[in-house]
Every structure is written in structure tokens, then in C-alpha cells.
Structure 1
Amino acid sequence: MSPSERAAAAAGSAHRTPSGAPRTRAWATRLMVAGIVLSALNLRPAITSLGALLEEVRDGLGMSGGVAGLLTSVPPLCFAVFGVTAPRLARRFGPAAVVCAGMAAITAGLLIRPYAGGTAGFLAASALALMGIAVSNVLMPVIVKRWFPDRVGSMTGLYSMALALGTSLAAAATVPLTDAMGGDWRSGLTVWAAVAAVAVLPWLPLVRDRGTAPPRQGERAHAREGEQAREGQAAQQAPLRITRSRTAWALAVFFGLQATAAYITMGWMPQIFRDAGVPAGTAGVLLAVTMVMGVPLAFVIPRVATRLPHQGPIALVLGACGLAGYAGLFFAPAGGAWLWALLLGVSNCAFPLALTMVGMRARSGPGVAQLSAFAQSTGYLISIPGPLLVGVLYQHSGGWGLPIALMAGLMLPQMAVGFLAGRDRTVEEEAGAR
């Protein structure tokens, strides 16, 4: 073998030796970041795009008012029912593979539902998309904890910011896109399937991952990896009795009450402003302002939360903003509409705070998976009656006084359980193992 051939062989072997590990690790990390961001962008458009075109969908399918009302409760119901299955699926196939399948389910559901041919088919295809959203909701904190254990706050903030951006983008752009494509509501809903299909791609090279973090260099890193692996194996062999943890229950109730407030805001806030004399177009913009507030704050709040020993004060500040916003809606809904929209937008950032605390209240990846599934499934079950109850109170009272009083009343226990969930402790300490 000539010297040049030996040099070429040595260069080739260098890519197969540990010296090639940083390059492999870097690419895997970039793929994971891209997968997290693109997935987060697709966790709400299935819901908010439908809300923008609900009247057209009802007319097109001949949907009754009762069935249309049921649609508002289907998302949290699906999140609760299907989210429970996420940890078991992740243990069997790996979190990356399950999220990849979840993005594929969202794509298929959004592609099928406009052309399903009737109300039953529309609901079934919507459930398919929501199933993909449910498992991805639960596993995002797990993936962040395992791949970025030293950057939980920043990565959760990035994920939450992308989720808020996807939510507001679908709400704002669906109607203009529909008009640009000839006014057919089916085309306006189908376009979001293409966005979901893009989110499948980064996960494909990662589907064989079983949840372990990418390799690190140095003895301390290897020791930390070994400790994490032992913790993960112990947690898998002895599942936590999660219902015995007070922190888990506090976090679940906090998650449920913040979801209740968010769904009430998305579903009813424009009508509150319209009934106060605000033009319909302006009412829609006010809702967009509330939702867009989550984009920058969803990145900032998790970073701040991870630097504090106790996240409860953040929950209190967010709750105080919500109370101020509800007071404004009660006393002067039109006079200070922009301020109330901003305050409620800040209050709705309890969602990224809840996600951050899920990652901080458990030590191991399996523990985060159990806590995430429990908190989100229980929380979404808690959130189901809220929007319906607001509608009933509005219909029977003929005004918004009682519904707004209910919203403000729910904010008080949200602040209390948020403060409890923010204490510096883990569910492993409280629940123990079997």
C-alpha cells in the first residue's frame, strides 16, 4: 500500500473511531432540536385551524349545533385518553419513534378529515390527529430531559415558543389561506397536513433511539451517563406510585386549571369583546394578541424558572395577571380591551411553566414520562367541563358577569396548586418505588 493510500485509509478510519463521535453527536443533536421545534409547531394547528373555519365546516357537513359544541371538548378528551399510553409506547419503541409516529398520525388525520364524507368520518379523522398530538404532548418533556439534561429551561422555552407560534399562526392564517385557494374550507384545513408532514422528517434518522442521550466525552460525563442509566433502569423495573405524590397531584391540577383558562380564552374571549361593542375584526385581533404573547414569554419563563429553587412565585405572578385581566373584562371590557388581552396573554403562559416543572419534578427519564402522562392526562380531564360550563352560564344568565366570575374564581386555586407544585422536590422522593 502506498503512503497516499495509507493516509486515505487512516483518514477513513478516523471517521469510524471515537474521534468521529463529536460530529455524529452534533448532527444527532441538530436533528433532535429540529424535530422538537417542528413537532411543537404542529401540536395545535389541528385545533385552531378548525376554530377559524368552524362555521363553514358546520354548513358543509350539515353538522348540528350539539355536535359542533362537542368538538370543543374533543381535544382535551383525546389528550387525556391517548396521553396515558405514551410512556408504555415509549418504553417499547423509544420516545423518538413514538413522536415520529405521532407526527405521521397528525399528517394523516389532517389530510383525511376534510374529505371523510360526513360528520362521523370528520370526527374520527380529527381523533387520529389528536391522538398523535396527545402522545407527542406527553413525550416532549421526556425527550428534553434525556437529550438536554443541562438545558431543560432553554429547550422547554424553545419548544413552548414554537408551540405558541404554531397556535397563533394557524388561527391567523387559516382564513386568508382559504380565501387565497378559492374559498374552499377543505383546502384551508388540508394545508396544515403539509406542515405536519415536514415534522416527520427529522425524526426518521432517530427512530432507533431508545431514549439515551448522545455520547459525551470525558470521565465525568461517562459517570453521569452511567448514573442516569442506572436511575432509568431502576425506574423502569420499579414504576412509581405516582398517585401517592402530592407534588404530582398539585402539578396535575395546576395543568388542568391552566388548560381550562386557555380553552375558555380561545373559545369565548372574542365573543365577550363583541358583546361589549368591539367590532368582530378587532375582537379577532385581540385574541391573536393574547395568543402571540405566548411566543416570547414561553421562551423566557422556563429559563427563569430553572434558575429558581421555587417556581411558585412565577405561578402567583401569572395568576395575578389573569385576575387583573378578568377584572378588566368585568368592569370595562371595551374601554381597556388591549390591556386585558395583554394581561390574559401573560396569564396563559402558565402552560410553559407547567411543562418546565414536569421536567424538574422528576429525576429520571422514566420518572418524567410517568409524571408527564399523569399530569397532562389528569389535567386535560379536569379542563373538559370548563368551556361548556361557561357557555351554559352565559346562555342562562344572559350576560358575561357569572362566566367571568367563574374564570376569576378558578384562577385562585390555580395559583395555590401552582405554588405547591413549584416546591423544590421530586416525585421519586414522595412516591417511592414498589
Structure 2
Amino acid sequence: MPDEDMKTLDRSAETAPPSWPAAGAAGAGVSRTTAATPQATAQPAWLGPVLIVGIVLAALNLRPAITSLGALFEETRTGLGMSGTVAGMITSVPALCFAVFGVTAPRLSRRFGPAAVVCAGMAAVATGLLIRPFATGAVGFLAASALSLAGIALTNVLLPVIVKRYFPDRVGTMTGLYSMSLAAGTSLAAAATVPLTGALGGSWRTGLLIWAVLALVAVLPWLPVARASRRADRAATAAGPLAAGTGPRVARSRTAWTLACYFGLQATGAYITMGWLPQIFRDAGVSASTAGLLLAVTMVMGVPLAFVIPGLAARMKNQGAIAVALGLFGLTGYLGLSFAPAAGAWAWALLLGVSNCAFPLVITLIGMRAKSPAGVVKLSAFAQSTGYLISIPGPLLIGALYQHSGGWDLPLALMAALLVPQIALGVLAGRDRTIEDECGMGD
């Protein structure tokens, strides 16, 4: 990440959280220190509930652009006349876009405010999903997909910042809420795209277009939230100068690098699972429909656990034990796939679904390993952008090993081996420390 993004605190994020009324759901989530902060600005009572709705809707839209395409990938590839090389490139585009565009989030957040950037991100998601079904060639389809993925990348980075800024005393609960919503959106798109496509006439273009509706709905609550946030920031700036300083140099923090590598390895496992698990089951003699259902089961496991794990992690002083438990579930699942892929298919799908819940854990840790929203925005951008870069080779390497060896023994051995450093990194990331302390910064 460019040094200039590290040198200046995110002005919009550094502003104290708005002091919502004490009564009601919104006020309950605001830090008790806010009322004593001169920069705090009273906000309308509707802002808290609308913000919660906006977070849920945004999270629901963070994966359907990917998983809906996965469900109709063969039809889309045929319809657009994609070569195998282009098709392979499209499967790698999400992680690349998340890395490239996620790194711009701190600068955009500083300039416009995190709520306004999330609003623009949701608009980009909706626009890309509206355009790509009408593409007549692979290039146009890829460009429209990249637009949606850019919006997802910005929202990926800034949702932890929104939570830290507006719900500083409920980081675990709110992270669990949007992690659960993200998992629900992922599962819904994977399971419902094909049936909805059939019900609406069978065209892959229609099947992809329907998810633009959900994205358009997600824009609506962020419009008033962004306006209110900008007014609060202007009022705080007028009341007195915002805190300035050099801010934590995130790249100098060992905890930041630990989180980035942990994020990268868990993302590698998640993308391998989404891309290859059905094929593993099909090669073991499981029917195509059952293999798809098994993948859906794996994804659905993330819905309840994505809510439970962040809340549990927030109550613990050291979260390493959770990382170890999740890794052991994954090792057991891969071991089962190696020796009895068909006989224990449902058990392995469940175990891998639990293991994939390392995502809500690492998102929670990002919110806990920085003291301020300004620190969170930089740590989130650094950990996610670096992590997604780390994850890019994984699915491609698994495919190459599968093609070279003609079976799944070697690829599954690699998947299991990657969980060993992931567990070790999770233990290190779970230690109670912050990037500000490591970089010699104060609060």
C-alpha cells in the first residue's frame, strides 16, 4: 500500500461515532465515551436501525456476483464462446479485483467517508450486474464483472470500519450479523440461481440478471446514511480540528502481516472448496445434483456459525483456540475426502463448512487488532488486499495438480498441508495486541 495512505489518519474514520439517542437499538451500540467527546454530533433516531439494515443488505450482496456465475458458468462460457484460457482467467478475477481495488479503500474513505464509499460500492455492484448479462463477448462480460467486483472489494474492506465506528462496543455481534448475512447471500445464490433460471425461461442471461435486483435494493439505505455521515463529519470538523498524526504504519506490524497471511490461506481454502469440491464428489461417483447439494450444505454451515464465532471471539482474550479448532475440522474433512469421499460425503461437507468459518474469525480479529476506526480501515485494507493476492495461485495450482496426477490424492494432500501454517498463523493472530502498540503509536 502506498506510504501516503499510511501517513495520514483517515479523517472521516477518526471522527468520533455519532451520539445517537440512548434509547433504542441505535443508541445502545454507541461507545460510552462518545458523549464526552467534543466532536460527537447528535444524529437522528432513524440512523441506527437504517444502518443495521444497510449492513445486512450490503453483506448479502458480497458474493452472489461470484456464486451465481459459478452455478451457470458452463452455460455462460458456451453462450459467449469463451476459450478455456479466458474461462480460467474469469475464475481468478474475483481475488485479483479484491486485492487491487481493496487497496484504494483507505484513500477513498478519507476523501468521501466510509459510508459514502460503501454506497458507491453497492451502486457499482448493481451496475455491473445489470450490464454483464447483456454482454455480447467475453471482454464486455469481464469488464462488467470487474465493475461489480470493484464495488465488492471496497465494501469488503469498509464494513469492518463501519462496525468499529458506529458499534465500537458491539464489534463481535455486528461482525457476526454481517458475516452471517454474507454466508446467507453466498448460499442463496449458489442454491437458487439454477432453479430461478429455469422458472424464468431457462436463459443464463436472465439467471444472472435477477441478482442485480438485490444489489439495487442494497443501495437504498446507504443513501440517507451517507448523507447523515457527511453532515456529521462536516459538523465535527467545524467544531474543532480532527486528530492528526502519522497513523500506524501497518506494513511494519507483525500482527498485520500475520492477519494478512491468515486471511490469504483461509481464502485459498474457501476458493478451492467453492471451485473444486463438487468435482471431487463427482469423481468419487456422487451424482452431479447431489454434489451440488453437498456444496450448498458446506456453504450453509457458514450462516449460523458466522454469527456465533465473532461473538464468541469478542468475549475471549485470546482467539487462537478458535483458529486451532477450525483448522482441525478442515484437516479431518480433507482426510475423509482422501479415504472415503463418497461414503462419508455428508460428514466431510459439514466439516469443511465449519472450517471455512475462519473468514468471520479473521474479520473479527481485524476489528479487534486496531484501537481506532482509522487503524481498522488501514488494517482491513492491508490484510484483505494482501490476503487475496496470496489466495490467487491456490485454485489454479490445485487444478494443475489434478490434471497432472489424474486424481485427488496429491491435491487433497496439499489442501491439508496448507491448513498447518493457517492454524499456526491463527494462533499468532489471536494474541491480544494492536497494530498501534506494535508501531509505537498511542490511541
Q: TM-score, normalised by structure 2?
A: 0.88
Aligned equivalent of 1:69: 88
Decide whether aligned partners of structure 1 residues 211 and 254 sit closer, same or farther in structure 2, where only a CA change above 3 A counts.
Answer: farther
What is the DSSP-based 3-state SS (H/G/I as helix, E as strand, rest coil) of the residue aligned with 1:130?
A: helix
C-alpha contact (below 8 Å) 2:20/2:44 kept by paired residues: no
2:365 to 354, 357, 362: 357
Question: How do 1:100-119 and structure 2 match up within 5 A?
Answer: 100-119=119-138
Question: How far apart are residue 116 of structure 1 and its match?
Answer: 2.0
Q: Partners in 2 of 1:354 and 1:183 — Cα distance?
A: 39
Q: Partners in 2 of 1:177 and 1:65 — Cα distance?
A: 27
Question: How far apart are residue 25 of structure 1 and its match?
Answer: 4.2
Q: Partners in 1 of 2:337 and 2:434 — Cα distance?
A: 38
- 1:208 and 2:227 aligned: yes
1:27 to 38, 42, 46: 46
Aligned equivalent of 2:5: none
Question: How do 1:158-307 and structure 2 match up within 5 A?
Answer: 158-210=177-229, 233-234=242-243, 237-307=245-315
Question: How do 1:338-349 and structure 2 match up within 5 A?
Answer: 338-349=346-357
Aligned equivalent of 2:334: 326
Decide whether aligned partners of structure 1 residues 347 and 19 sit closer, same or farther in structure 2, where only a CA change above 3 A counts.
Answer: closer
- 1:45 and 2:64 aligned: yes
Aligned equivalent of 1:78: 97
Q: Partners in 2 of 1:291 and 1:189 — Cα distance?
A: 19
Decide whether aligned partners of structure 1 residues 404 and 63 sit closer, same or farther in structure 2, where only a CA change above 3 A counts.
Answer: same
Decide whether aligned partners of structure 1 residues 204 and 324 sit closer, same or farther in structure 2, where only a CA change above 3 A counts.
Answer: same
Question: How far apart are residue 237 of structure 1 and its match?
Answer: 3.0
Question: How far apart are residue 243 of structure 1 and its match?
Answer: 1.1
Q: Where does structure 1 differ by over 2 angstroms across 4 or more consecutive aligned residues?
A: 18-26, 208-214
RMSD across aligned positions (CA): 2.2
Question: How far apart are residue 241 of structure 1 and its match?
Answer: 1.1
Question: How far apart are residue 210 of structure 1 and its match?
Answer: 4.5
Question: How do 1:88-167 and structure 2 match up within 5 A?
Answer: 88-167=107-186
C-alpha contact (below 8 Å) 1:95/1:143 kept by paired residues: yes
Question: How far apart are residue 27 of structure 1 and its match?
Answer: 1.0
Question: How far apart are residue 19 of structure 1 and its match?
Answer: 11
Aligned equivalent of 2:438: 430
Question: How far apart are residue 418 of structure 1 and its match?
Answer: 0.8
Q: Partners in 1 of 2:252 and 2:242 — Cα distance?
A: 21
C-alpha contact (below 8 Å) 2:20/2:45 kept by paired residues: no
Question: 2:153 is aligned with what amino acid?
Answer: A
Q: Partners in 2 of 1:98 and 1:343 — Cα distance?
A: 36
Q: Partners in 1 of 2:285 and 2:220 — Cα distance?
A: 47
Question: 1:104 is aligned with what amino acid?
Answer: A
Q: TM-score, normalised by structure 1?
A: 0.90
Q: How many residues in Structure 1 have an aligned counterpart in Structure 2? A: 403
Q: Partners in 1 of 2:160 and 2:101 — Cα distance?
A: 16
Q: Partners in 2 of 1:302 and 1:103 — Cα distance?
A: 24
C-alpha contact (below 8 Å) 1:146/1:212 kept by paired residues: no
Aligned equivalent of 1:59: 78
Decide whether aligned partners of structure 1 residues 20 and 65 sit closer, same or farther in structure 2, where only a CA change above 3 A counts.
Answer: closer
Q: Partners in 2 of 1:361 and 1:212 — Cα distance?
A: 29
What is the DSSP-based 3-state SS (H/G/I as helix, E as strand, rest coil) of the residue aligned with 2:316?
A: coil
Aligned equivalent of 1:219: none
What is the DSSP-based 3-state SS (H/G/I as helix, E as strand, rest coil) of the residue aligned with 1:310?
A: coil
Q: Partners in 1 of 2:302 and 2:87 — Cα distance?
A: 27
1:330-366 deviation line (CA, Å, top 9, x unaligned): 1110111100000000000000000000000000001
Aligned equivalent of 2:11: none
Question: 2:92 is aligned with what amino acid?
Answer: S
1:197-233 deviation line (CA, Å, top 9, x unaligned): 000000111113458999xxxxxxxxxx99xx99x94
Sequence identity of aligned pairs in percent? 71
C-alpha contact (below 8 Å) 2:298/2:353 kept by paired residues: yes
C-alpha contact (below 8 Å) 1:141/1:355 kept by paired residues: yes
Question: 2:394 is aligned with what amino acid?
Answer: G
Question: 2:83 is aligned with what amino acid?
Answer: S
Larger radius of gyration: 1
Q: Partners in 1 of 2:314 and 2:232 — Cα distance?
A: 20
C-alpha contact (below 8 Å) 2:21/2:45 kept by paired residues: no
1:119-155 deviation line (CA, Å, top 9, x unaligned): 1000000000000000000000000001000110010
Question: How far apart are residue 432 of structure 1 and its match?
Answer: 3.1
Q: Partners in 2 of 1:362 and 1:78 — Cα distance?
A: 25
1:90-143 deviation line (CA, Å, top 9, x unaligned): 111011100000000000000001112211000000000000000000000000
Q: Partners in 1 of 2:21 and 2:382 — Cα distance?
A: 40
Aligned equivalent of 1:5: none
C-alpha contact (below 8 Å) 1:145/1:359 kept by paired residues: yes
What is the DSSP-based 3-state SS (H/G/I as helix, E as strand, rest coil) of the residue aligned with 1:237?
A: coil
Question: 1:68 is aligned with what amino acid?
Answer: A
Decide whether aligned partners of structure 1 residues 211 and 257 sit closer, same or farther in structure 2, where only a CA change above 3 A counts.
Answer: farther
Question: 1:63 is aligned with what amino acid?
Answer: M
Question: 2:203 is aligned with what amino acid?
Answer: D
What is the DSSP-based 3-state SS (H/G/I as helix, E as strand, rest coil) of the residue aligned with 2:331?
A: helix
Question: 1:290 is aligned with what amino acid?
Answer: T
Q: Partners in 1 of 2:56 and 2:177 — Cα distance?
A: 7
Q: Partners in 2 of 1:405 and 1:345 — Cα distance?
A: 18
Aligned equivalent of 1:366: 374
1:421 to 419, 429, 432: 429
Q: Partners in 1 of 2:135 and 2:301 — Cα distance?
A: 35
